[in-house]
Amino acid sequence: MKMNTRKHSAARTRLAAMSLALVTGGFGQLAMAQTDAPAAARQPPAAVKPDYAPYPDQQFPNRVYWGVAHVHTGYSFDSGMFGVTTTPDDLFRVATGGEVILDNGTRFKQDRPLDWVSITDHAEYMGISDLLRVGDPALLANPQGKRWYEMSKESPQKGVEAAIEAVVSMQTGKPVFDASKITAGAWAHAVSACEKWNQPGVFTTLHGFEWTCAPGGNNLHRTVVFRDGGDRVGQVVPFSTFDSQDPADLWTYMDAYAKKTGGQVLAIPHNGNMSNGQMYDAETFDGKPMDRAYAEFRASHEPLFEATQIKGDGEAHPYLSPNDEFADFEKWWDMNFQKMEPADKSTLNANYVRSALKTGLELQAALGANPYKSGLIGGNDAHLGVVTTPEDNFFGEFANGLPSPERWKTPLVMKHNDPKQGPLVSVWGEQAAGLGGVWARENTREGIWDALKRKECYATTGDRPTVRLFAGWDFAKADLDRADYVANGYAHGVPMGGDLAAAPAGKQPVFLVYAMRDPDGPNLDRIQVIKGWLGKDGKAQERIFDVAVSGGRKIGRDGRCKTSVGNTVDVPNATYSNSIGAPTLSAFWKDPEFDAGQLAFYYVRVIQIPSPRWTAYDAKRYGVTMPDYVPMTVTDRAYTSPVWYTPGT
Amino acid sequence: MKRILQEPLVHFLVLGALLFAGYGALNRNAAPPPGRIVISQGQLASMLETFTRTRQRAPTREEFNGLIKDRVREEVYCREAMALGLDKDDTVIRRRLRQKMKFISDDMAAQIQPTDAELEAYLAAHRDSFRVEPQFTFRQLYLDPAKHGENLALDAAQLIAKLNQFGGETNVAGLGDPFMLDNAFTSAPASEVARQFGQEFAVKLGGLQPGHWQGPIESGFGMHLVCVSERTEGRRPALAEVRDAVRREWDDVQRRKANETFYQELLKHYTVTVEEPAAAGAQIKVAQAK
């Protein structure tokens, strides 16, 4: 029993549990299930009288909270460039269920509110400290500033007059007072909006920015997400690519923040697909081989990879995973975005998160530390001041992708930057993705951020399926259907993002996996476990196991189900039916080829049944026809953070 | 330059540097004579402060000298760029300037403090936007259609009879089929029910009489037996309960109004003439801007 949408519900829940238990005492038959109390509560410390209610000791996460740690407003340079004027206030309003009018006059509202958001506008825009800010103590200390402040308090009309005075004073090039002492600007606006909308227990806002680094057009972007309130975050300004292009300098900045304020902050790389083999390679920024210290430095600051977003899915690539029939999914054009030409295949290995996880095992064996021991999360990256994920409510990444009959063919970049050569990427190639599902116990900054840090989260390509896993050595098949499977799972195993080490003799890792479809979304096709391990030759390998499939299909001895779930999508009408697939799936799975001496990781991929892609909704709503190369269906999915196995010494 | 600007995904960072620098040069320098560059004490202090807030430490002498050299280089480039007119008709720079203007008027609006009476009036005019949702305290058991097949209705009826026999407060953990959602919910708002069980189920839950087990109720996942023990109707809140939210919305309205007034005030200083589009290919009718 758990409900924590309101602040005091934990206490209320405990009270309710106790009264419930008292009442049920007389009905042995129906109270049977309760005798099997959660394991966490079964073993209280010796000499302490056990509590009657099982709940006081339950600290485990009990709910998925949906959000993104990557979205932009008009404060970002490349949003403003397109005339987007939405503010962080607008984004938070939309995320909590409100409405906004976008810059082409279209009304936008999300299908459902989000639980948490980190707005990550580009640092390169915000970090400049010379913007005028009114109400700042430094300004009020100035006679002219104080006069404006008084005018603005007097009446809105006087405020406007004061603003005009200020503008005039700027245009003459003669500042009325020394502006160098008045720092802040857009960052201060962003920080204050973020403070204003944070409602512990209901909606969480995380302070953040994006470090927009792309030396030579090789994308090394990171979003940077803070755990703390404005009192701490406001003590620093964002670190920009003007400060340094070396990710290690960003991590040093993060350390300096933590040291100065006592706060915490993490970074999440994204769009390896545009890094030209630079995002997840085996070298430092200077091109030197990594050493152990560097690997640890990176891993400790970047606990997550953004695995999917509008500019393409980054989980796997068919060239790297030829035996994975689901790998060819919403692939963006791998490219360097200075030259605007397709990347060389030899660089793909360092562009995708599955291969990064594999490279991590190889580096761990070589260096003694894994730089790529990161969990997976979905980002959105829309630059419109809204999060836009479901297929039927997709507004594009930039203003040129806002809904219109023509948008699908609007070019995003030209081949080799040459308009004559035609588009390399057009808007139809954008995918309506992604979201992050976070397992936490409370919807607060601490609850959400701590879950991100411990990697207890997963990525989806836009829908909201629930996915949960526990890995351990001693789970039995009967544990799968226990009423208290969550308490039992935490007591005897680890959740996604966790570690298993030093296998007991003769034991294999056992996984309990649960998936439930989005309550208002497509059914599930299958649950897969994707295993990566370090072979005897020092090269990392991968293998996919289907562990649960819908509709009574069979999983072969090779661990795969070759039968497709089918397809109910009616493209012309942009509809589908949940007559195939299953609303819930679960699996008890043991690794059949486990070697206790090999480094390994396991993550879960949940595949939904096909549904109409956003392009199909466009075709239907606008009555337009698109060429065959534009996909009309999508097989959305979820990727969990891995569980890692490390051999004992 | 033109070609780069046509490319949406091109990095704007170089342009950004130019822009900021250009603006900074315009804004900060008390117009030193042409050909003379002065890095003022105020600028040095600002550079020092920006560095310190970013890195959380003071620059070394070498770094500070580097910053100064870079500032001089920036100054030279910016002055030359502006002399060449490179800042004219640059979309990035124009948009950035426009945005800075908007910050100013946003900030002015942010200084306006509402009275309680104003907030009350706003709430009265928008009562439904601030409505407190209905809340449900209920328990549910899941029945998996795949497991029960044709017996679903019968199994459901038997279980309901048994549950009602033992009363509404019976512990139900372990009954029904395994399911990822909880059996019990305390004061869950309707939107939360919809989030977890889907819209359809939430609507049906609103129609149930409290006090006994009933069903099966369909959701996207399958069938549910449900016992609502308490239902709190939705209501219109008093200001004290929703003050922060009302204030936020009120601020937003003031901001929009102030922005518009600000713009209209500025517009008064101009006469706007929009020429007719060249005849050939002019299919778009131009609305008068003023």
How many helices (H) and strands (E) would you count in chain A? 17, 29
Say if residue A246 is in the same domain as residue A389. Answer: yes
Of B198, B214, B232, the residue at which a domain comes to its end is B232
pLDDT at A218 (0 to 100): 87
Question: Which of A5, A24, A180 lies at the smallest CB-CB distance from B189?
Answer: A5
Residue with tokens 């040093």: A252
Say if residue A341 is in the same domain as residue A305. Answer: yes
Q: B282: how many CB neighbours lie within 10 A of its CB?
A: 10
pLDDT at A39 (0 to 100): 38
Say if residue B225 is in the same domain as residue B152. Answer: yes
Contact A256 B219 (CB under 8 A): no
Say if residue A119 is in the same domain as residue A147. Answer: no
- pLDDT exceeds 90 at position A116: yes
Say if residue A19 is in the same domain as residue A114. Answer: no
Of A435, A450, A476, the residue at which a domain comes to its end is A435
Say if residue A601 is in the same domain as residue A638. Answer: yes
Residue of higher predicted confidence among A66 and B91: A66
pLDDT at B154 (0 to 100): 92
**Cis upstream peptide for B16 (omega within 30°):** no
Q: Is A21 on the interface with B (CB under 8 A)?
A: yes
Contact A164 B99 (CB under 8 A): no
> Is residue A605 within a helix (H) or strand (E), and if so which, with residue range?
strand A600-608
Model pTM greater than 0.90?
Answer: no
CA distance A101 to B43: 40
Q: Is A203 on the interface with B (CB under 8 A)?
A: no
Question: Which of A9, A87, A337 lies at the smallest CB-CB distance from B187?
Answer: A9
pLDDT at A342 (0 to 100): 75
Q: Could you tell me if A517 and A584 are in contact, meaning their C-beta atoms sit under 8 angstroms apart?
A: yes
Question: Which of A257, A414, A578 lies at the smallest CB-CB distance from B7?
Answer: A414
Say if residue A431 is in the same domain as residue A541. Answer: no
Contact A83 B95 (CB under 8 A): yes
Q: Residue B169: its chain A contacts at CB < 8 A?
A: 19-20, 23-24
Say if residue A533 is in the same domain as residue A412. Answer: no
- Residues 6 or more apart from A323 whose CB is under 8 A from it? A544
Say if residue B245 is in the same domain as residue B283. Answer: yes
Give backbone dihedrals phi and psi of A602, rounded to 5 degrees, phi first: -135, 125
Q: Residue B27: its chain A contacts at CB < 8 A?
A: 130, 170, 173, 175, 179
Give backbone dihedrals phi and psi of A164, rounded to 5 degrees, phi first: -65, -40
Of A417, A435, A453, the residue at which a domain comes to its end is A435
**Digit-coded pLDDT (tens) for A437-464:** 999 999 999 999 999 999 999 999 999 9
**Digit-coded pLDDT (tens) for A480-500:** 988 889 999 999 999 999 999
pLDDT at A456 (0 to 100): 98
What's the rounded mean pLDDT across residues A583-591? 96
Contact B174 A33 (CB under 8 A): yes
Query: In this structure, is residue B188 part of a structural domain?
Result: yes
As for how many domains chain A has, the answer is: 4
- pLDDT exceeds 70 at position A56: no
Query: In this structure, is residue B189 part of a structural domain?
Result: yes
Alpha carbon distances (Å) from A619 to A11, A216, A401, A628: 51, 38, 15, 12
> Is residue A10 within a helix (H) or strand (E), and if so which, with residue range?
helix A9-24
Contact B54 A253 (CB under 8 A): yes
Residues 409-448 of A with CB under 8 A from B: 412-414, 417, 419, 425
Query: In this structure, is residue A509 part of a structural domain?
Result: yes
Question: Which of B173, B195, B262 lies at the smallest CB-CB distance from A34?
Answer: B173
Query: In this structure, is residue A484 part of a structural domain?
Result: no
Q: B235: how many CB neighbours lie within 10 A of its CB?
A: 12
Interface probe, candidates B3, B6, B13, B102, chain A, greatest A C-beta count within 10 A: B13
Residues 172-191 of A with CB under 8 A from B: 173-175, 178-181, 183, 185-186, 189
With cut-offs at 50, 70 and 90, classify the pLDDT of residue B50: confident
The distance of B280 to chain A (nearest Cα, Å) reads: 22
Residue with tokens 């996919």: A544
Contact B20 A128 (CB under 8 A): yes
Contact A235 B53 (CB under 8 A): yes
pLDDT at A630 (0 to 100): 97
What's the rounded mean pLDDT across residues A53-72? 84
Q: A471: how many CB neighbours lie within 10 A of its CB?
A: 27
Q: Is A154 on the interface with B (CB under 8 A)?
A: no
Say if residue B46 is in the same domain as residue B185. Answer: no
**Tokens of residue A322, six digits:** 């030829």
- Residues 6 or more apart from A265 whose CB is under 8 A from it? A224, A225, A226, A227, A228, A254, A257, A258
Helix axes A186-197, B91-110, angle to 10 degrees: 50
Q: Residue A185: its chain B contacts at CB < 8 A?
A: 103
CA neighbor of A333 nearest in space, from A305, A353, A313, A308: A313
CATH code of B167's domain: 3.10.50.40
**Tokens of residue A279, six digits:** 């995002």
What's the rounded mean pLDDT across residues B87-92? 79
The distance of A536 to chain B (nearest Cα, Å) reads: 39
Give backbone dihedrals phi and psi of A606, rounded to 5 degrees, phi first: -110, 125
CA distance A285 to A246: 6
What's the rounded mean pLDDT across residues B53-60? 83
Say if residue A211 is in the same domain as residue A155. Answer: no
Give backbone dihedrals phi and psi of A122, rounded to 5 degrees, phi first: -60, 130
Angle at CA B10, nearest 5°, toward B95 and A280?
130
**Cis upstream peptide for A378 (omega within 30°):** no
Query: In this structure, is residue A632 part of a structural domain?
Result: yes
CA distance A7 to A196: 18
Which structural domain, as residue segments, surrounds residue A11?
Answer: 1-58
pLDDT at A165 (0 to 100): 57
In chain A, the N- to C-terminal Cα span, in Å, equals 41
What's the rounded mean pLDDT across residues B39-49? 85
pLDDT at A10 (0 to 100): 41
Which residues share a beta bridge with A223?
Answer: A210, A268
Say if residue A151 is in the same domain as residue A272. Answer: no
Query: In this structure, is residue A488 part of a structural domain?
Result: no
What's the rounded mean pLDDT across residues B89-109? 78
Which structural domain, as residue segments, surrounds residue B14?
Answer: 2-101
**Digit-coded pLDDT (tens) for A369-389:** 999 999 999 999 999 999 999
Q: Is A27 on the interface with B (CB under 8 A)?
A: yes
The distance of A131 to chain B (nearest Cα, Å) reads: 8
pLDDT at A31 (0 to 100): 33
Interface probe, candidates B2, B9, B113, B147, chain A, greatest A C-beta count within 10 A: B9
CA neighbor of A427 nearest in space, from A636, A618, A628: A618
Say if residue B96 is in the same domain as residue B160. Answer: no
Of the listed ranges A96-100, A204-208, A564-568, the one predicted with least confidence: A96-100
- pLDDT exceeds 50 at position A410: yes
In chain B, the N- to C-terminal Cα span, in Å, equals 32
Of A435, A456, A473, the residue at which a domain comes to its end is A435
CA neighbor of A448 nearest in space, from A208, A193, A625, A273: A208
- pLDDT exceeds 90 at position A645: yes
Q: Is A583 on the interface with B (CB under 8 A)?
A: yes
> Is residue A154 within a helix (H) or strand (E), and if so which, with residue range?
helix A143-154
Which residues share a beta bridge with A99?
Answer: A109
What's the rounded mean pLDDT across residues A579-590? 96
CA distance A516 to A524: 8
Interface probe, candidates B4, B12, B63, chain A, greatest A C-beta count within 10 A: B12
Query: In this structure, is residue B269 part of a structural domain?
Result: yes
Q: Is A229 on the interface with B (CB under 8 A)?
A: no
Say if residue B66 is in the same domain as residue B141. Answer: no
Query: In this structure, is residue B107 part of a structural domain?
Result: no
Say if residue B247 is in the same domain as residue B124. Answer: yes
Q: What percent of chain A lies above the pLDDT cut of 90?
A: 65
Of B184, B203, B232, the residue at which a domain comes to its end is B232
Query: In this structure, is residue A404 part of a structural domain?
Result: yes
Most confident residue range from A90-104, A215-229, A598-612: A598-612
Interface probe, candidates A58, A81, A232, chain B, greatest B C-beta count within 10 A: A81
Q: Is A32 on the interface with B (CB under 8 A)?
A: yes
The distance of B129 to chain A (nearest Cα, Å) reads: 9
pLDDT at A281 (0 to 100): 95
Question: Which of A78, A130, A519 lies at the smallest CB-CB distance from B24?
Answer: A130
Q: Could you tell me if A361 and A371 are in contact, meaning their C-beta atoms sit under 8 angstroms apart?
A: no
Indicate the average pLDDT of chain A. 84
CA distance B205 to A213: 50
Question: Which of A81, A179, A259 lies at the smallest CB-CB distance from B92?
Answer: A81
**Digit-coded pLDDT (tens) for A120-129:** 988 765 533 2
**Digit-coded pLDDT (tens) for B63-80:** 899 989 988 998 999 889
pLDDT at A61 (0 to 100): 85
Residue of higher predicted confidence among B241 and A157: B241
The distance of A116 to chain B (nearest Cα, Å) reads: 14
Contact B111 A159 (CB under 8 A): yes
CA distance A172 to A22: 78
Say if residue B47 is in the same domain as residue B189. Answer: no
Query: In this structure, is residue A279 part of a structural domain?
Result: yes
Say if residue B125 is in the same domain as residue B250. Answer: yes
As for how many domains chain B has, the answer is: 3
**Digit-coded pLDDT (tens) for B139-174:** 999 998 888 889 999 999 999 988 888 765 667 767
CA neighbor of B54 nearest in space, from A129, A210, A178: A129
Say if residue A117 is in the same domain as residue A169. Answer: no
Query: In this structure, is residue A302 part of a structural domain?
Result: yes
What's the rounded mean pLDDT across residues B74-93? 85
Which residues share a beta bridge with A467?
Answer: A515
CA distance A483 to B173: 6
Say if residue A244 is in the same domain as residue A341. Answer: yes
Q: What is the DSSP string of A373-418?
A: --EEEE----SSSS---SGGG---SSGGGSS-TTGGG-EEEEGGG-
State the alpha helices, DSSP H only, in chain B: 2-6, 13-28, 41-55, 61-83, 91-110, 116-125, 145-148, 152-165, 190-197, 199-206, 239-267
**Digit-coded pLDDT (tens) for B195-212:** 999 988 999 999 999 988
**Digit-coded pLDDT (tens) for A173-188:** 344 444 333 334 678 8
**Digit-coded pLDDT (tens) for A487-537:** 999 999 999 999 999 999 999 999 999 999 999 999 999 999 999 999 999
Residue type, B233: E
pLDDT at A164 (0 to 100): 52
Give backbone dihedrals phi and psi of B265, rounded to 5 degrees, phi first: -60, -45
Say if residue A168 is in the same domain as residue A147. Answer: yes
Residue type, A329: F
Most confident residue range from A250-254, A332-336, B1-5: A250-254
> Is residue A457 within a helix (H) or strand (E), and if so which, with residue range?
strand A457-460
Query: In this structure, is residue A479 part of a structural domain?
Result: no
CA neighbor of B191 nearest in space, from A460, A97, A444: A97
- pLDDT exceeds 70 at position A161: no
State the alpha helices, DSSP H only, in A530-628: 614-622
pLDDT at A78 (0 to 100): 65
Say if residue B118 is in the same domain as residue B160. Answer: no
